[in-house]
Amino acid sequence: MTDYRSRSMWLDGVPGELTPRTSLPGPIDADVAIVGAGFTGLWTAYYLKKADPSLRVVVLEKEIAGFGASGRNGGWCHTTFPGSRERAAREHGRQAVIDQQRALYGVVPEVARVIAEEDIDARFVVGGQLDLATTPLQLLRLREGVEYERSWGFGEEDYALMGAAEMRARIRVAGCLGAGYTSHGACVDPARLARGLAEAVERAGVPIYERTPVTAIKPHLLETDRGAVKAEVVVRATEAFTPTIPGFERHVVPIYSLMIGTEPLPQTFWDEIGWQAHETFGDGRFLIFYAMHTADGRIAIGGRGAPYHYNSRVSEEYERVPAVQDHLRRLLAELFPQIGDFEVTHRWGGAIAASRDWCSSVGLDRSSGMAWAGAYVGDGVATTNLAGRTLSDLIRGEDTELTHLPWVNHKSKLWEPEPFRWLGVNASLRAMASADEAEARSGRPSRRASLVKKIIGA
């Protein structure tokens, strides 16, 4: 039996058993069949049944609900636009981009509403998000970022610049020169949210068949070794596991993001550094990190740096890379020298999915009955909720504001075949890390990161 608790600090802390639900009993028919019991699949099932209780909706999951990125992520429910605003504006107009960003801003209160209504113990705290500047160049980019938000019509209430003193009043991070702050963000225990949402979906009348790998996704049909599922609509909600499904090998690449979690830290530490509102934060480096203050007094911190694996392979052995996770431990001590000697109790990781143009999408081909959502590039905790509501409207044939957002039915081109995919993705990852190193050495802006973004189409 798989040790599901070992896959993340979040899954380890879920109350009760993580025993898999019943597998698919045999061939069945449904109105909507969803592949994947992560956030995308669960939100989609939830909103479909709430909107139309008569729909026959089923969810098929290879492992257990919340097994993938939904149970392993950084615990950020934040509202980053899922792609390039400029590209979306060229194709759909400026107002459509603004509408999508406003829709994303609405996700945090919507998730909070569902958590309260369904009585989910997700440890959801709306503390906002901070983007720190810890070097003069990061501070320059931060100021440019604020002006960029203003150019799109988003005001102080959406994204504001904080000085060093104001930032210290919130969190005392070593060397912080200022920060950008948005109230449109929350921290959450993602595994508790995923598991609680799965229970809410079941209460609504949706069966979740676990330990049921889907071996093929075809028009109006899902194939498994336990029988076929025929449905008017089949929803692919498989994110980083998408390349394991025949015919979808080049739709996204899985990129590993790794994390560590500390022991519960003493109250004296929290008294000294602040961080009482549970804001999530990172800084302006190119090879990103993300940190949050958990409800039980730990710090969870994660970041990129692990390699992409040839032919888009995903494996448990890729989830722990000592060099990356040791770097995160050192980084935490640099950010908070007050922390002293501390124990890392959990090391874990998981794969996020990136499309070739770095754009998330959601859509439905009515003729084949094939729907999808994904390629969140690590921003899926909030974006999946918007995706689930949008898929619900599309599947039910509703013409709503959500079905006209620019990411609807967006088609990214396929990733290159191997070995070009392996060479390109890993070269890009190394270039982003070296861009940070180059800036630290020279004190001048590095052009490598912008060059990488052009190459990958971000």
Residue 383's closest CA among 121, 103, 85?
103
Residue 455 belongs to some domain of the structure: yes
The reported pLDDT for the residue numbered 456 is 55
Residue 326 belongs to some domain of the structure: no
Is pTM, for the whole model, over 0.95? yes
Task: Note whether 169 and 194 are same-domain residues.
Answer: no
Question: How many Å from the N-terminal Cα to the C-terminal Cα in the chain?
Answer: 40
Task: Note whether 400 and 428 are same-domain residues.
Answer: no
Residue 293 belongs to some domain of the structure: no
Per residue in 163-213, pLDDT tens?
Answer: 999 999 999 999 999 999 999 999 999 999 999 999 999 999 999 999 999
The reported pLDDT for the residue numbered 365 is 98
Per-residue pLDDT of the chain (458 residues), as tens digits, is 789 999 999 999 999 999 999 999 999 999 999 999 999 999 999 999 999 999 999 999 999 999 999 999 999 999 999 999 999 999 999 999 999 999 999 999 999 999 999 999 999 999 999 999 999 999 999 999 999 999 999 999 999 999 999 999 999 999 999 999 999 999 999 999 999 999 999 999 999 999 999 999 999 999 999 999 999 999 999 999 999 999 999 999 999 999 999 999 999 999 999 999 999 999 988 889 999 999 999 999 999 889 999 999 999 999 999 999 999 999 999 999 999 999 999 999 999 999 999 999 999 999 999 999 999 999 999 999 999 999 999 999 999 999 999 999 999 999 999 999 999 999 988 888 888 888 878 778 877 666 665 655 55
**In the numeric block, which tokens belong to residue 114?**
């569902």
Task: Note whether 17 and 42 are same-domain residues.
Answer: yes
Per residue in 306-332, pLDDT tens?
Answer: 999 999 999 999 999 999 999 999 999
The whole domain housing 431 covers 416-458
Count, residues in the chain: 458
Residue 447 belongs to some domain of the structure: yes
Task: Note whether 245 and 201 are same-domain residues.
Answer: yes
Whole-angstrom Cα distance, residue 382 to residue 399? 22
The reported pLDDT for the residue numbered 443 is 76
The reported pLDDT for the residue numbered 457 is 52
Task: Note whether 9 and 63 are same-domain residues.
Answer: yes
Residue 351 belongs to some domain of the structure: no
- Only one residue has tokens 């960029």, namely 148
Q: What CATH number has the domain bearing residue 242?
A: 3.50.50.60
Task: Note whether 21 and 138 are same-domain residues.
Answer: no
Residue 212 belongs to some domain of the structure: yes
Residue 238 belongs to some domain of the structure: yes
Task: Note whether 10 and 70 are same-domain residues.
Answer: yes
Tally of domains in the chain: 3
